Amino acid sequence: MANKLIRFFLLLAMLGSGQVKAQQKQWKPWLVPEAGILIGSYMLDGDFRLNAGIEKKGLMLGMGAAVDYYRFQSYPVYFQARKAFEFRKVNLLAMCSWGYNLKSGTSEMHSWGGSVAKQYSGGLYGEIGGGTMIRIRKKQRLLLSASWVMKAVEESFQSQIWNPVDQSSRTIENQVRYSMNRTALRIGWKF
């Protein structure tokens, strides 16, 4: 599985870096690998992302893919827009991402009656935030960002209901749709 992810990220990087170079000379390719900390109501967790695309006059358009470890492992794929600008000699950026959370996951929840296996399906993935770019070399920059991230999922699990009248138990299927909202603090490197 990890081998397939590495191949996917390499393919995304190659496609994002060379797709428009022959068509329009003013558009330049960009690539940003990032690592982040996700702070939510359940736990503190992390994610790894790779974003690639084209840039012109501070407007960066592209695609990205990530491995998100918040509560369960999932794989968001998204379109991303970033705008770089300068405010009082500080390089800032605003960003927005929208896509789909591909992978479903399973987690075990332990309770007094035993353990319950919960399964998660994919859903909408979105992010909005901002950050700063610190120039290290001529074309390479360190990125520090903070953003609000939303991951919509559907949770399904089976539970036992005890009927005290006829002294029997019944199994029912529970399905719940909800979104996981969290804050992400990320560090990245722009090539």
Average pLDDT over residues 8-12: 50
Of 82, 50, 89, 85, the C-alpha closest to 66 is: 50
pLDDT in tens, 13-63: 444 444 444 444 688 999 999 999 989 877 788 889 999 999 998 899 999
pLDDT in tens, 138-185: 777 889 999 999 988 888 887 777 778 887 777 778 888 878 889 999
Query: What is the residue-wise DSSP string for the chain?
Result: -HHHHHHHHHHHHHHHHHSSTTT-TT-EEEEEEEEEEEE-SS-EEEEEEEEEEEEETTEEEEEEEEEE-SSS-B-EEEEEEEEEEEETTEEEEEEEEEEEE---EEEEEEETTEEEEEEEE-EEEEEEEEEEEEE-SSS-EEEEEEEEEEEEEEEEEEEEEEETTTTEEEEEEEEEEEEEEEEEEEEEEE-
**pLDDT at res. 3:** 57
Domain extents in the chain: 2-20+27-108+121-151+179-190
Distances (CA, A) of 162 to 112, 159, 167, 172, 173: 14, 10, 7, 11, 14
| CATH fold group of domain 2-20+27-108+121-151+179-190 | Porin (2.40.160)
- Phi (first) and psi of residue 144, to 5 degrees: -120, 125
